[in-house]
Amino acid sequence: MATAAATKVPEVRDVTRIERIGAHSHIRGLGLDDTLEPRQVSQGMVGQLAARRAAGVILEMIKEGKIAGRAVLIAGQPGTGKTAIAMGMAQALGLDTPFTAISGSEIFSLEMSKTEALTQAFRRSIGVRIKEETEIIEGEVVEIQIDRPATGTGAKVGKLTLKTTEMETIYDLGTKMIESLTKEKVQAGQSLCSALMENCKSVRKSCIQSHYMKLMSSIAAPKDFWRSFLVLFIDEVHMLDIECFSFLNRALESDMAPVLIMATNRGITRIRGTNYQSPHGIPIDLLDRMLIISTSPYSDKETKQILKIRCEEEDVEMNEDAYTVLTRIGLETSLRYAIQLITAANLVCRKRKGTEVQVDDIKRVYSLFLDESRSTQYMKEYQDAFMFNELKGETMDTS
């Protein structure tokens, strides 16, 4: 018993939220001024001025509640910042606006139908802001009566006499209210005001709460009392099939449909589930309902600026020559590949006890990790040495 008593129970510490560095963690918004003019470099966004301005117009319409049931398509080459623009919109909208982001491949499951997965994504994108008014009476405690059961077991009941400058009222007290008054050691003659004042009076306060409802049918309040802010982002939308596109056609006609933002990097390709080709792999009738925002490739200066922002985000020191080499790698291969080399080059720099990434560090990790083009060239040279090789010099069907 003594041993058990001496054993100390470890304290449970609060869970600390860890902010990990992601692909778009450096983005803080769209980088627009008050007139919706995009800045060249702002809030982690670089370049894409026309696309960011168009996204800013859509953003203002969402904030003012003037747009619903609309579809916006962000189309462009891989690595041109399509998802970054969508994440910038999410950051600019704030935490009060539901912004649900899914991928086009997430809806395919053996446990749930495709339409049910899309329906749940639509429901998660619905937020309701309800205005509630609560009457709070602040006054002086005249008398407190608490009745305790004679047996010592059971709920406590009591009465509270509260006096204000306008009235004197008796209130029935429940168990939780009695415990709160006992904990605060409230006695007769004390004031229940948040700050002791000479004249306590009855006040009416209103508050606005945001509720994220899965089912809109559970709301009994009239539409005049709530406003909804709805955004659903589907990345890689070309992965959806013809049945999903038909469902989206019908869902966008609903008065409670969210603003649907989609992104794709495909050109003219086959619509999944059919043998027909269409721009971006999306049916023509759905494309006709969309506002299309196009992105363009980054220039040399923009690529270099993005790499500098990523180095600041990942806390990596790099000299100017290394920036130049890394920028050339990003232009010849891809921006994603160049960004992934930053952390690897920093590790090589720390291994040699350095404080600043040099050109040699970039060259070392570039030789260790292949990009897509060099990997493809390697496969073509040694394809006969791999198992189950069926290429045989023929071109693969990527449609």
DSSP 159-193: EEEEE-SS-EEEEEE-HHHHHHHHHHT--TT-B-S
- Superfamily of domain 136-195, CATH level 4: RuvBL1 DNA/RNA binding domain (2.40.50.360)
Q: For 373-389, what is the mean pLDDT? A: 82
For 133-183, how does the pLDDT look when each residue is reduced to its tens digit (9 = 90+)? 666 667 777 777 777 777 767 777 788 787 777 777 787 777 777 777 777
Sheet architecture: strand order including 226-228: 202-211, 128-137, 226-228
CA atoms of 258 and 256, how far apart (whole Å): 6
pLDDT of residue 220: 46
User: CATH number of the domain at 300-382, please?
Assistant: 1.10.8.60
Q: For 13-17, what is the mean pLDDT? A: 45
DSSP per residue over 323-344, as a string?
Answer: HHHHHHHHHHS-HHHHHHHHHH
Task: Kindly report the average pLDDT of the chain as a whole number.
Answer: 76
199, pLDDT greater than 60:
no
Count of residues for the chain? Answer: 399
pLDDT of residue 131: 62
224, pLDDT greater than 70:
no
State both tokens at 383. Answer: 């394809």
The one-letter amino acid at 271: I
Tell me which architecture the domain covering 41-130+224-294 has in CATH.
Answer: 3-Layer(aba) Sandwich (3.40)
pLDDT of residue 191: 64
Torsional class of 47: left (φ above 0), alpha (ψ -120 to 50), beta (otherwise): left
pTM summary value: 0.67
Residue 312 banded pLDDT, cuts 50, 70, 90: confident
Domain boundaries along the sequence of the chain: 41-130+224-294, 136-195, 300-382
Q: For 98-124, what is the mean pLDDT? A: 83
Q: In whole angstroms, how large is the CA radius of gyration of the chain?
A: 30
Residue 29 banded pLDDT, cuts 50, 70, 90: confident
pLDDT of residue 5: 46
